[in-house]
């Protein structure tokens, strides 16, 4: 170590002899900043160093060490470590610097005393001269935690200073801290253990490391290092002492904290937790159900996606390929008041006059243009299910705002500490169906987007839980796009259909998961989660999480949306879609007792859930027919994107079983309800 410092200085002044150098070096005491990662050590160093910092790579490693001169001291910064040992490069470097230090400024995060004091006690056991800097003291006050620094100082036997490095408060005491650094109090048994090693003429610091099994220090001193068992014994002893100290010096007493604690307790117990959940859900409904999925998505999908993006793209494509364009003019009540069909048998550019007429006509307010391309390739990429047109609109203008809103809400619920409590409250109910409380997360997300929820099943502990939740999602959870349509259909129908709907879907959900829980092998994982303190979420964190997850979802699911659209596009061109529609018709009219046109709705439902339900708007249905239709459509297969993502997550066999299962259950249950009601 010493020779290293000499080398560093020699770089600056090569004329000095080694003897002279040693003098220079020994004149200055070495003060080393030590602390756990992210405790703000560097801020201390920057304050002390002013402008002249010497950053160099530590010999043989890539770990850099900053040095500077401050008054009569040489200050050195070290990498953040949890303890002095040599488990990795950074620790080795920190160990060597610490062994060589004359005085140590130990920077401690006051919010994590239990974690950080372990290192402090180790430094004291090593016999180093230490002063403790309790950083983040302002944060501690904000959170109404009280730390008795005087008592802490007594227990440790060294000086303790409160600081806030960000605001540089307490930095005026830094000189005192360096000056007053001293050896702290040691446990008697550790002291005796040390004596035995120190008899062999080894310094206390090195003796401590030898006892703790540090082989390179032992080798250097030609002694045997301690065994892992001995290290564990010393570590456990130290851990217990840390806990005792923290118990004595840290107190939490606050009115504000109590209110949040009370809220936390209330949200755990079903008696009070369920009303709280109801309030949360109502707020969520207004934010996601009303604001985002109605107003915002109407604008992004309708106005921007279809009105601007698709219109211009399709209009451009129809310049070069044959197209029939049907333009409807709608009034404020969404009724068609005028309609015109433009036929461009050789593309728009071949008929400039008509193209101009089309442009003027379709640019009126309330105009909706419906393009039909005659060329199969144009159809595949730009048609109704076009890989380019539909997928882009769907992904960017419909899903993105929704997914963003859902992840934002989840991050808020998570960071406020509510979500883990909700999972705890619902744990018992979920264990009855072979899950634990954590399953609430993918299921809640499913009401936003089942595809997104399929990916989130990864947080579940075992394979059988993933299977159960994935099945529930595909069978019984209507996504927000579908919920919106169901709400419109139900709005004219009254309360009875709503109750029948909830009862039937709820029973299917419970029976399905109960059966799966019985037949699937293995055991589900139990609930074991920590409940963070209830608090107002840090917005910076929330936004970070939200954007991170949204980008992650778009990356994972985006590609599969294109694959799905391509598949349906091919079916449309080859006429497979029509054949399917015709095959389904008898089942729809005979068994479900719905009009023949409803078959189209079911086929469309395979592509996008809201397509399916929206198809039912056009048809005149009785109240009971509406009930049958929405039950069947909800139980029916997931959308094409969800299907593909499910195959990817759960494998071909399981994915296909679930998919065909939804066919059977949807028509079976829908039919039974129909036979009873109609």
Partner 1 sequence: MNNSTLQNTQKGNSVVVLNLPEGELKSQFIRLGITEGSTVKINERLPGGTVVITKNRQEIAVGSDLAKKIKVIVE
Residues that bind partner 1 (CB under 8 A): 114, 243, 246-247, 252, 264-265, 268-270, 420-421, 423-425, 427-429, 431, 436-437, 526-531
Of residues 577, 587, 563, the one with CA closest to residue 640 = 563
Shorter beta-carbon distance to partner 1: residue 378 or 425:
425
Shorter beta-carbon distance to partner 1: residue 102 or 250:
250
- Cβ–Cβ under 8 Å, residues 654 and 467: yes
- Cβ–Cβ under 8 Å, residues 398 and 305: yes
Q: Closest approach of Cβ 464 to partner 1, in Å?
A: 14
Q: Closest approach of Cβ 619 to partner 1, in Å?
A: 45
Shorter beta-carbon distance to partner 1: residue 23 or 265:
265
- Cβ–Cβ under 8 Å, residues 608 and 602: no
Burial class (CB in 10 A: 0-12, 13-18, 19+), 637: buried
Shorter beta-carbon distance to partner 1: residue 490 or 531:
531
Q: Closest approach of Cβ 9 to partner 1, in Å?
A: 45
Q: Closest approach of Cβ 329 to partner 1, in Å?
A: 59
Shorter beta-carbon distance to partner 1: residue 114 or 187:
114
Shorter beta-carbon distance to partner 1: residue 444 or 658:
444
Q: Closest approach of Cβ 530 to partner 1, in Å?
A: 5
CA of 581: how far to CAs of 482, 585, 628, 660, in Å? Answer: 21, 6, 19, 17
* Angstrom distance (rounded) from CA 47 to CA 123: 23
Beta strands 250-252 and 145-147 are: antiparallel
Shorter beta-carbon distance to partner 1: residue 433 or 505:
433
b/e code 408-425 from CB counts within 10 Å (16+ = b): bbbbbbbbbbbbbbbbbb
DSSP state of 636: S
Coil, strand or helix: which one is 327?
A: strand
Q: Closest approach of Cβ 242 to partner 1, in Å?
A: 11
- Cβ–Cβ under 8 Å, residues 161 and 134: yes
Q: Closest approach of Cβ 423 to partner 1, in Å?
A: 8
* Angstrom distance (rounded) from CA 368 to CA 378: 20
List the Cα angle 277/279/285 in 5-degree steps. 100
Q: Closest approach of Cβ 333 to partner 1, in Å?
A: 51
Shorter beta-carbon distance to partner 1: residue 37 or 50:
37
CA of 670: how far to CAs of 514, 592, 673, in Å? Answer: 20, 6, 5
Of residues 94, 83, 76, the one with CA closest to residue 29 = 76
Q: Closest approach of Cβ 213 to partner 1, in Å?
A: 20
HSE-up of residue 611 (Cα within 13 Å, Cβ side): 18
b/e code 510-531 from CB counts within 10 Å (16+ = b): eebbeebbeebeeebeebeeee
Shorter beta-carbon distance to partner 1: residue 145 or 374:
145
Burial class (CB in 10 A: 0-12, 13-18, 19+), 46: middle
Shorter beta-carbon distance to partner 1: residue 159 or 427:
427
- Cβ–Cβ under 8 Å, residues 605 and 417: no
Shorter beta-carbon distance to partner 1: residue 353 or 530:
530
Coil, strand or helix: which one is 273?
A: helix
Q: What is the CA radius of gyration of the chain?
A: 35
Q: Closest approach of Cβ 442 to partner 1, in Å?
A: 17
Q: Identify the H or E element spanning 339.
A: strand 336-344
Q: Closest approach of Cβ 38 to partner 1, in Å?
A: 18
Shorter beta-carbon distance to partner 1: residue 334 or 530:
530
Q: Closest approach of Cβ 427 to partner 1, in Å?
A: 5
């Amino acid at each position: 170590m010493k020779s290293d410092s000499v080398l560093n200085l020699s770089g600056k002044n090569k004329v000095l002899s080694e003897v002279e150098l040693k003098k220079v070096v020994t004149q200055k005491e070495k003060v080393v900043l030590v602390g756990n990662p992210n405790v703000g050590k560097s801020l201390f160093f920057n304050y002390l160093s002013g402008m002249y910092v010497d950053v160099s790579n530590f010999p043989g490693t890539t770990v850099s060490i900053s040095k500077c001169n401050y008054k009569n001291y040489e200050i050195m910064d070290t990498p953040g470590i949890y303890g002095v040992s040599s488990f990795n490069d950074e620790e080795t470097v920190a160990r060597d610097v610490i062994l060589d230090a004359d005085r140590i400024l130990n920077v401690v995060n006051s919010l994590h005393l239990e974690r950080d004091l372990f290192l402090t006690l180790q430094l004291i056991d090593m016999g180093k001269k230490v002063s403790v800097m309790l950083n983040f003291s302002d944060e501690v006050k904000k959170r109404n935690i009280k730390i008795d620094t005087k008592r802490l100082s007594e227990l440790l036997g060294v000086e303790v200073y409160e600081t806030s490095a960000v605001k540089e408060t307490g930095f005026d005491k830094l000189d005192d801290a360096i000056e007053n650094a001293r050896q702290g109090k040691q446990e008697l048994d550790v002291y005796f253990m040390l004596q035995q090693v120190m008899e062999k003429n080894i310094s206390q610091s090195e003796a401590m490391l030898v006892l703790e099994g540090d082989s390179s220090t032992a080798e250097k001193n030609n002694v045997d290092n301690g065994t892992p068992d001995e290290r564990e014994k010393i570590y456990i002893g130290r851990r217990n002492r840390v806990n005792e100290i923290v118990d004595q010096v840290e107190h939490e007493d606050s009115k504000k904290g109590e209110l949040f604690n009370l809220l936390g307790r209330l949200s755990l117990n079903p008696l009070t937790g369920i009303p709280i959940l109801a309030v949360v859900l109502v707020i969520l409904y207004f934010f996601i159900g009303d604001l985002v999925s109605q107003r915002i998505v109407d604008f992004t999908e309708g106005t921007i996606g279809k009105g601007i993006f698709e219109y211009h793209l399709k209009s451009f494509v129809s310049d070069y390929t044959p197209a029939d364009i049907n333009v409807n003019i709608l009034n404020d009540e969404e009724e068609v008041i005028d309609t015109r069909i433009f036929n461009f048998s050789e593309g728009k550019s071949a008929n400039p006059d008509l193209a101009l007429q089309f442009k003027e006509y379709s640019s009126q307010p309330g105009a909706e243009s419906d393009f039909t391309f005659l060329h199969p390739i144009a159809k595949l990429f730009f048609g109704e299910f076009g890989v380019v047109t539909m997928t882009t609109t769907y992904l960017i203008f419909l899903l993105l705002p929704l997914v963003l809103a859902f992840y934002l809400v989840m991050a808020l619920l998570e960071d406020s500490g509510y979500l883990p409590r909700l999972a705890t409250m619902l744990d018992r109910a979920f264990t009855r169906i072979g899950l634990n409380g954590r399953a609430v997360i993918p299921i809640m997300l499913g009401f936003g987007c089942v595809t997104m929820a399929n990916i989130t099943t990864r947080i579940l502990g075992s394979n059988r839980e993933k299977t159960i939740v994935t099945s529930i999602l595909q069978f019984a959870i209507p996504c927000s796009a579908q919920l919106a349509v169901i709400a419109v259909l139900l709005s004219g129908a009254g309360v009875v259909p709503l109750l029948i709907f909830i009862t039937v879907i709820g029973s299917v959900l419970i029976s399905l998961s109960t059966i799966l829980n019985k037949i699937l092998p293995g055991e589900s994982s139990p609930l074991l989660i920590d409940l963070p303190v209830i608090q107002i979420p840090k917005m910076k964190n929330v936004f970070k999480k939200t954007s991170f997850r949204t980008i992650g979802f778009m990356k994972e699911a985006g590609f599969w949306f294109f694959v799905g659209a391509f598949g349906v596009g091919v079916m449309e061109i080859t006429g497979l879609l029509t054949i399917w529609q015709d095959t389904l018709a008898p089942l729809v009219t005979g068994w479900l007792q719905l009009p023949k046109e409803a078959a189209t709705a079911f086929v469309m439902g395979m592509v996008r859930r809201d397509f399916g339900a929206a198809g039912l708007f056009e048809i005149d249905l009785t109240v009971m027919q509406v009930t049958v239709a929405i039950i069947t459509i909800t139980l029916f297969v997931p959308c094409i994107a969800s299907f593909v993502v499910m195959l990817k997550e759960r494998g071909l066999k399981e994915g296909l079983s679930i998919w065909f299962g939804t066919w059977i259950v949807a028509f079976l249950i829908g039919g039974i309800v129909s036979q009873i009601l109609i």
